[in-house]
Amino acid sequence: MLPPLRLSERKTLLVIIDLVLVNATTVIALWIHATRNNIRFNRAFVLDNVEWFLLLSSLWLFSAFLNGLYDPNKIADLAVVAPALLRTIALIVVAYLVIYFFFATPGSLPRGIVGYQGISSFLLIGVWRTLSVMLLQHPDFARKVIIVGAGWAGQTIAQVIHQHAGSAYQIVGFIDDDPATQVSIIAIDHSIRFPVLGTRKEIRQLVQSHQVSEVVLAITHDLPGEMVQALLDCQSLGVQVTLMPILYEQITGRVPIQHIGDNWNVALPLDHAGTGGLYLLLKRALDILGALIGLALYAPLFPFLTLAIYVDSPGPIFYRQERVGKGGKIFRLIKLRTMVLDAEKQGTAFTTDGDPRMTRVGRFLRKTRLDEFPQLINILLGDMSAVGPRALSVQDLQRLENQIPFHRMRHAIRPGMAGWAQVNYGHPTSVEEARIRLEYDLYYIKHQSLWLDLLTLLRMMGRMLTLRGR
């Protein structure tokens, strides 16, 4: 039986077996193609068509990551995995059809192979993923965890584990030196309770007796020397010691700004890709190229959109507002107008679903995000990037900075048209939701890369095509 796997190891295992099955179904597809066309199926035939293995494996990885088939909080939920698998296969077929009709010379690519491979991979990988969900949900595959610290941070990570990674971890209990928590039960919610097992002096004994795989450190203040030694003892036993903010990030894709305490230097994005040179150079070049292409594609739609806005509601076509950019620099953001005139004077700063200030055309523009395409001009001017935190108005920034810690960290990089927070959480409608958005933004700043940028843009395109704009 496999030992309890880390989240990253579960993901790696799924990727490897998925790729093995993708290539196996490619062999099946080539065999069907050869049989239907009276072609001899042998080793030479397979080697002559080796490009299919590379193409379909690449398309699989691209589509699977895009549809969240390897997200830690989704891989053990069959209700989420099944539709994600279907979307993955569908996207591969669509991508192939685009290649076939627009880029391939007539007759150079057979149409049937991708269809055969799509059907067989959905069946074979579907069976494998069903079995994997059953295996991953089995208690024997869960990593036994002890949480050091039964306070706010400890209870938060316990709740996150229970809600988003319950199949990956089995929480044994808490360790805490506070006399008030000794011999007590910590209630995470009405139905989930975990015991306080003892103090730091008993960590080694408890880790051994409960066969613990991982110790999560959820203490937000300086550690006493005895606690450091106890944790070193755990590591000497082969037990992983993980900081609460790090595990929180791995599970949620967010930085826990309210629970980092003295670990702020670990959790906040001080040394990130944006402080380097090569990444910024590549990103800026891609921003300019993408903006030029986007404006060229947007131009044919622009006359019809402006006419619709003009007929639907009196007022200017464009909406301009001062926003805060990188380093606190003020710039004028440009969008198509989606609200009635003087909307800011008629309601709150947060836009809600069914907001009466929105016009009929404005609702459509927001659902499709077509109102944001004029921001491509802001990208060309260098005020914005394709991917980054959402640009806030001066008034919103001042209000939120007074209520949310570390909020100014959002301005370490250029704001973006698309953002990690937008594709994972959406548009906030309260201060608490704005705090959660900030956690996603800080995660992006800390982990930004060209791959994360591409993933964010593709997921944003998916929201546009399914009319899931705000």
Tens of pLDDT, residue by residue over 363-373, are 888 888 899 99
Number of other residues whose CB lies within 10 A of the CB of residue 101: 10
Name the phi and psi angles at 93, rounded to 5: -65, -45
Residues 6+ apart with CB under 8 A from 253: 420, 424, 440, 443
Q: Is the pLDDT of residue 382 over 60?
A: yes
Residues 6+ apart with CB under 8 A from 309: 317, 336, 337, 359, 361, 362, 365
pLDDT at 139: 79
Under DSSP, is residue 353 helix (H, G, I), strand (E, B) or coil?
coil
User: What proportion of the chain, given as a percentage, has pLDDT over 70?
Assistant: 90
pLDDT band, very low/low/confident/very high, at 117 (cuts 50, 70, 90): confident
pLDDT at 381: 95
pLDDT at 441: 94
Q: Is the pLDDT of residue 352 over 90?
A: no
Q: Is the pLDDT of residue 331 over 90?
A: yes
> Please, is 19 exposed, middle or buried when counting C-beta atoms within 10 Å of its C-beta (0-12, 13-18, 19+)?
middle
Say if strands 185-187 and 193-198 run parallel, antiparallel, or are unpaired.
Answer: antiparallel
Three-state secondary structure along the chain?
Answer: CCCCCCHHHHHHHHHHHHHHHHHHHHHHHHHHHHHHCCCCCCHHHHHHCCHHHHHHHHHHHHHHHHCCCCCCCCCCCHHHHHHHHHHHHHHHHHHHHHHHHHCCCCCCCCCHHHHHHHHHHHHHHHHHHHHHHHHHCCHHHCEEEEEECCCHHHHHHHHHHHHHCCCCEEEEEEECCCHHHCCCEEECCCCCEEEEEECHHHHHHHHHHCCCCEEEECCCCCCCHHHHHHHHHHHHCCCEEEEHHHHHHHHHCCCCCCCCHHHHHHHCCCCCHHHCCHHHHHHHHHHHHHHHHHHHHHCCCHHHHHHHHHHHCCCCCEEEEEEECHHHCEEEEEEECCECCCHHHCCCCCCCCCCCCECHHHHHHHHHCHHHCCHHHHHHHCCCEEECCCCEEHHHHHHHHCCCCCHHHHHHCCCEEECHHHHHCCCCCCHHHHHHHHHHHHHHHHHCCHHHHHHHHHHHHHHHHCCCCC
Tens of pLDDT, residue by residue over 226-256, are 888 888 988 888 899 999 988 999 899 899 8
The pLDDT of 208-228, averaged and rounded, is 87
User: What proportion of the chain, given as a percentage, has pLDDT over 90?
Assistant: 33
d(CA 371, CA 334): 9
Mean pLDDT in the chain? 85
pLDDT at 296: 94
Higher-confidence residue of 167 and 22: namely: 22
pLDDT at 227: 86
Q: Is the pLDDT of residue 342 over 70?
A: no
Output the pTM of the full model.
Answer: 0.81
Of 118-122, 265-269, 378-382, 389-393, highest mean pLDDT: 378-382
Tens of pLDDT, residue by residue over 436-447, are 999 999 999 999
pLDDT at 461: 82
pLDDT at 351: 63
Q: Is the pLDDT of residue 32 over 80?
A: yes
Q: Is the pLDDT of residue 353 over 70?
A: no
pLDDT-wise least confident of 53-67, 155-169, 267-281, 344-358: 344-358
d(CA 194, CA 123): 40
pLDDT at 453: 94
d(CA 395, CA 322): 9
The pLDDT of 386-402, averaged and rounded, is 89
d(CA 78, CA 85): 10
pLDDT at 292: 96
Tens of pLDDT, residue by residue over 34-88, are 898 888 999 898 898 898 899 889 989 888 888 888 887 778 788 888 888 888 8
Tens of pLDDT, residue by residue over 156-204, are 999 999 888 888 899 999 998 877 666 677 777 767 888 999 888 889 9
pLDDT at 287: 95
pLDDT band, very low/low/confident/very high, at 375 (cuts 50, 70, 90): very high
Domains of the chain: residue spans and CATH? 7-136 (no CATH), 142-267 (3.40.50.720), 273-465 (no CATH)
pLDDT at 324: 94
Cβ contact 30:419 at 8 Å: no
Tracing tokens 């099946």 back to the chain, one arrives at 28
pLDDT band, very low/low/confident/very high, at 132 (cuts 50, 70, 90): confident
pLDDT-wise least confident of 4-8, 23-27, 37-41, 453-457: 4-8
Residues 6+ apart with CB under 8 A from 149: 174, 175, 176, 217, 218, 219, 220, 244
